[in-house]
Structure 1
């Protein structure tokens, strides 16, 4: 179900760092990835369902090195048919609350395409701060887009 969702959502927007058919993980590789997250104290994979339909996914991962295991980055997707319904906000709020009680996470990072104004506004609303810009971060059909770096400190 998850791989079908990812293949579907990847063809709905150019805001992701992969396009339709580019995800590239097999069933077994995805199962191993999810199992590693399940066993990790500093990673989480959230699925959002509405009426038993998978409409959103969020992954947050960190390195395992002692000096960097407190900080990680997330990626989030929401089916286009469910944009504007608060699904993304609910997923991010869950991530933030989990990070606060994790006992490990002290920083959540993200990269967002510079022209994705709706996402940037949501991140700001939830408390993420602008931290920088990475030029030519994404190339879609020969056009380059900058990546905005944002972060949230967890106390």
Structure 2
């Protein structure tokens, strides 16, 4: 699905949020690898489940033509600094919802990039009469992320106990969070 690009100016940082294009594939591959290595909030460690540029190009092509998929990027001076992706199902029993994922380079945390990616996604979901956006595996220690999601109307639906083991060798819970739309 394609949306119009938007410009944002936050704390002297001017960035754009727009839909991903096939020409972003190499940059997305590099960005995802970098983000995975910057924070334990992500599902993967750096290099795990690597997506090469060719596979990203295929994903972008699929998402562009699928009515319930959305792939957005945040761009600053020609560099990608964040992304978000929603994936819907064609199964009739799940057609009302999408699953959501988000990543922002750590150097750009605090500039509203994650929040603005979320807001654009929520607007798209509302326009497309999607009733539920699901975030799977929000790490319990990701307090900033959890608070941002709550401010945007998400709620904790459940807890996955001892769902993730981090670099300290300890197990952590993750939350399933969702936003409901009565459209």
Q: Would the TM-score normalized by the shorter structure come out above 0.5?
A: yes
Distance 2:36 2:104 in 1: 10
1:107 is the counterpart of 2:156: no
Instruction: State how 1:3-82 maps to structure 2 within 5 Å.
Output: 3-82=29-108
Residue pair 1:7, 1:23 contacting (<8 A) in 2 also: no
1:14-65 per-position Cα deviation (integer Å, ceiling 9, x unaligned) = 1100111113223222221221111111110000112322111001112210
Q: If the length of structure 2 is used for normalisation, what is the TM-score? A: 0.80
User: Structure 2 unaligned runs (5+)?
Assistant: 1-26
Distance 1:16 1:73 in 2: 15
2:165: which partner in 1? 139
Count of aligned pairs between the two proteins: 154
Runs of 4+ in 1 over 6 A off after TM superposition: none
The Cα RMSD (Å) is 1.2
User: Structure 1 unaligned runs (5+)?
Assistant: none
Q: Secondary structure at the match of 1:91?
A: helix
Q: If the length of structure 1 is used for normalisation, what is the TM-score? A: 0.94
1:96 is the counterpart of 2:122: yes
Q: CA deviation at 1:6?
A: 0.9
Q: Secondary structure at the match of 2:92?
A: coil
Distance 1:76 1:110 in 2: 9
